[in-house]
Structure 1
Amino acid sequence: MRFEMLGELRVLRDGVPADLGPAKQRAVLAVLLVNAGRAVPTQQIVDAVWGEEPPENGANVVQKHIAGLRRVLDPDRAPRTPGELVALTPAGYVLRLDGHTVDAHEFTAAATRAPTAELVRAGLMLWRGEALAGLTGPFFDSARARLAEIHATAWERWAELELGRGRDAALVPELARLVEQFPLREGLRAHLMIALSRSGRQAEALAAFRSARDYLVEQFGTEPGELLQETHRRVLRGDQAPLPPPLLPAAVSEPAQVVADEPPVRLRIPYVEVLFAVLTPLVTFATGAWIYFVYAAAHHRERRLFVAAGVYAGLLVTAFVFMAVDPSPLDDGDAVSGAEAAGISIWLGTALVAAIHGAVVATHQAGVAALAAVSQRRTGPEPDGRSVRGGR
């Protein structure tokens, strides 16, 4: 059986495409295929396939799709027996590829380790279109981006090997097409300049550099990198062998496979805490401006917020002192003394600033919690069992 993801996802049994079922079931298979050989937790499958709109009973829905995939991929399996191709482990579901092939693995091996241009080109011919076409969401975007990076690097390596064989003039049309397809790859642009220069077309090689520079400046406001700059200098000198430094292929683990990033940790805004932080100083006419910061300092273990609480309390005292030192004359209801006006300004300003500051603190703490979750995911719990905390 052959699994293919360099285009639309498909599975071939004896060369015949299998019916993989509904779109969500195909997406579940894609998640397992991207992580082939590794267990994928059910919740990660739910996050990757459904994103921001997960089903209420996500685990049951995933189990249903797994059962459907087992019927397609392992039709000879006896009912109610453990799956061998799609297996359930304590860590999650795993797609086992013993004896089966994956086009992305074959391509990656050819792109990074094939010794000849012909073998690299054979790997490139495995592409049928955009990888994982039709599958949307951060998980699939990440996997697609990784494959696209290897794809572009493979073309650069192929061109380098062909230039090493002296096929300069014949490469120009193909390199021009590749530059148009991958405009950000300076390696391909450098190879085009080399091929043109070696073919006696120095003016066109210099024009290719100007085109690259104009594109980078216009699109990103940056100058070409050292690779293009050095190639440009060599073309100007008339160096007929200005090969750039060898391109280093992307490192690939054994077995070669593309592993997508972990699904992003979602930032959850604590709306109740934000409302508490905003409304407390406003409803209490600033007299309670310090209350939220005492709570936040204790709840989030941020000692500096005790200082903020003290500052707001001090501002309130200052406002009352100003209003008490030089009160308005009792016989003039419209008159307000300068000190009293200053006190009122400090009073109202304290309420407004404390409300805004409190909202920022509450939202910031949500971000700290999200970063802590990422840290824990990557480093695991500390030896004493406590989670890694962020923001401290």
Structure 2
Amino acid sequence: MDFSKLSMTPPHLQEAMTLMQSGDLKAATIAIQNNLSGIASASDTANNIMVDLPMPQDGLAPMGKLIDVNKLQGFTDTMKHFKLDLPTVMNMSAGVNTHSEQPIPDNAQFLKGTLKSSQGSHDYRLYIPSSYAQAVEKGLRLPLIVMLHGCTQSPEDFAAGTRMNELAEQHRCLIVYPSQPASANQNRCWNWFNPTDQQQGQGEPAWLAALTQSITKDYAVDSSRVYIAGLSAGAAMAVIMAEAYPQLYAAVGVHSGLAYRSATDLPSALMAMRQGGAAAMNRAGNSKFVPMIVFHGDQDHTVSIRNGNQIVEQAKQRLQAQKNDLNTQQHQRCSEQNCRSTQLEICDERGVSQLEYWKIHGAGHSWAGGSSAGSHTDPKGPDASKEMLRFFLNH
């Protein structure tokens, strides 16, 4: 159906918008499925995929102001592809953490903290490796990695799935996991699509920067070796942080994310997830280049791989503008079972990798090489956590 010729919102979309505005995601999802896609079949509902459905703090209130009739068809087509079962919807609405705490080594700590800043109070978890006290006694300062979870996830869930704490033990790093509360976004998504959350000095970037600076100040952290990474909505926010605060981060890791300013509101966010950001290539920004490693599955039906391509193209444009004598290589990365990844690598004149893009063949919207102890992970390689840390520690 072509809604572009109509002068009003179709009744079934209006019903869904009203339900979502009131916070009733369960009923809204049923309305969308029944009216746009037909009642979901048993095979559809069995395919429980991670759905990074952005939700502003005040529901869909801005939507009536921002959507025009020419966008409704694309919005309708996009919503057809969101397959949600009811337990997933209810967990998304409540922001439930169903994952138990993972054991840690003796003398290690996985602390709970709250940062009070000009942006309000925000919770986080901080992993301190068991060797931290010895490092302090020797006068050493350690790397810090900021890890931004995806929608519906929690710091504990993300830590378990990525196994980043285990790598922190091996390489003697601190890991901080900021927590996005359901009060900021009903799905616990980082609000990467809001203009106020895409720039320095305000919104979520401001408090994430404040948290980074606080941990760097309060612990034995090497301020020249601070890194940031994320999954999906968290990856999109990591890209924003590298753009807004390039002086804070020595490198950035992006798994299944979106390019800088791929969207400026909820409808364009949904379209960008499906088709890539229409204006992303015109918004590469002017900040200094921050070394970047990107992972994206070529069968990702939640955040299209077109977004991974756009992230890399943005970064490549900035890198080429700021550095000469670059060397580009492409490799097939193989395990004993198969060659699952194609790695694009751009190195500087010293041979140091500045930009890497790992296309993971046959992979969907999940953390590559992750543990089933956390949600939205794919146990098959490559090991994204290991490769990210390897890349980070070279910068």
Q: Which has the higher strand share?
A: 2
Relative to the length of structure 2, the TM-score reads 0.19
**Bigger Rg, which one:** 1
Relative to the length of structure 1, the TM-score reads 0.20
